[in-house]
């Protein structure tokens, strides 16, 4: 049995696990930023359509048409005003920005953790990543909840699941690496020591 009160006890260093989680989360969030599969419907043979955070893409056979989410929502408002939410398109843009910020912050966190550095930053990348992920979870869920077409129109696609998994991995990785990359406070014991 491991006794944390033993003077020779050293906690396990999970730095590389945190680096891996942050890097993988960043890749998943980048995929979520560029994919047209946030909301999709591919149930019809030879046809599929879906929404990215910025645009709609509909394909019949090999021909595809793309429109901005703002243009799609304007058309929906003309035909069925009660099915169109004014929050859908703006939430897609906000979510895209937040996921981009989170991905960059997670990559910076992974790089600093891999180099085993403790830079004295006023706002560490772990904090930026966590705040962007938390806000992105809210705006991403609002984007999904305000989708046009009602219940049977489109459902969540692979990009939404990549977003969800990436958010959870990013939170875990940023939390793991935060104690390894923040500067050591001279007034507090070293977090790697047994006195902490």
pLDDT tens profile 76-127: 888 877 777 888 889 999 999 999 999 999 999 999 999 988 888 888 999 9
User: DSSP string spanning 118-166?
Assistant: ----SS-HHHHHHHHHHHHHHHHHHHHHT-TTHHHH-EE-HHHHHHHHH
Tell me the mean pLDDT in the region 56-62: 83
pLDDT reported for residue 192: 56
Q: Is 52 helix (H, G, I), strand (E, B) or coil?
A: coil
Whole-model pTM: value is 0.83
117's CB contacts (< 8 A; 6+ apart) are 181
- Residue 138 CA: distances (Å) to CA of 38, 116, 133: 15, 32, 9
* DSSP label at residue 93: H
Apex 54 CA angle, 109 and 84, nearest 5:
130
Query: Is-contact 118 31, C-beta < 8 A?
Result: no
* DSSP label at residue 1: -
Closest CA to 50 of 63, 67, 31, 33: 67
Q: Which helix (H) or strand (E) holds 47?
A: strand 47-51
Closest CA to 103 of 120, 123, 122, 125: 125
What domains, with CATH codes, occur in the chain? 15-181 (1.20.140.150)
Q: Would you call 9 exposed, middle or buried from its count of C-beta atoms within 10 A (0-12, 13-18, 19+)?
A: exposed
pLDDT tens profile 7-18: 776 767 788 999
pLDDT tens profile 124-182: 999 999 999 999 999 999 998 888 866 666 778 899 999 999 999 999 999 999 888 88
pLDDT reported for residue 74: 86
Cα–Cα distance for residue pair 128/94, rounded to 1 Å? 15
- Checking if the pLDDT of 191 tops 60, the result is no
- Checking if the pLDDT of 196 tops 50, the result is no
pLDDT reported for residue 152: 62
pLDDT reported for residue 187: 75
Query: Is-contact 174 167, C-beta < 8 A?
Result: no
Q: Which segment, 14-23, 33-42, 71-80, 182-191, is predicted with the most confidence on average?
A: 14-23
pLDDT reported for residue 193: 58
């Amino acid at each position: 049995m491991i006794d944390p009160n033993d003077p020779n006890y050293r906690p396990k260093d999970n730095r590389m696990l945190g680096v891996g989680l942050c890097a993988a989360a960043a890749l998943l969030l980048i995929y979520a930023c560029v994919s047209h599969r946030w909301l999709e419907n591919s149930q019809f043979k030879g046809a599929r359509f879906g929404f990215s955070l910025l645009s709609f893409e509909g394909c019949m056979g090999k021909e595809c048409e793309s429109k901005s989410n703002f243009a799609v929502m304007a058309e929906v408002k003309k035909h069925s005003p009660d099915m169109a939410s004014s929050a859908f398109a703006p939430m897609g843009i906000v979510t895209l920005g937040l996921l981009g910020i989170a991905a960059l912050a997670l990559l910076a966190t992974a790089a600093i953790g891999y180099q085993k550095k403790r830079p004295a930053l006023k706002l560490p990348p772990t904090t930026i990543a966590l705040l962007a992920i938390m806000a992105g979870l809210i705006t991403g869920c609002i984007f999904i909840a305000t989708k046009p077409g009602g219940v049977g129109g489109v459902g969540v696609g692979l990009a939404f699941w990549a977003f969800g998994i990436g958010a959870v991995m990013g939170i875990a990785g940023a939390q793991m690496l935060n104690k390894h990359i923040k500067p050591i406070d001279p007034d507090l014991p070293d977090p790697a020591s047994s006195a902490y």
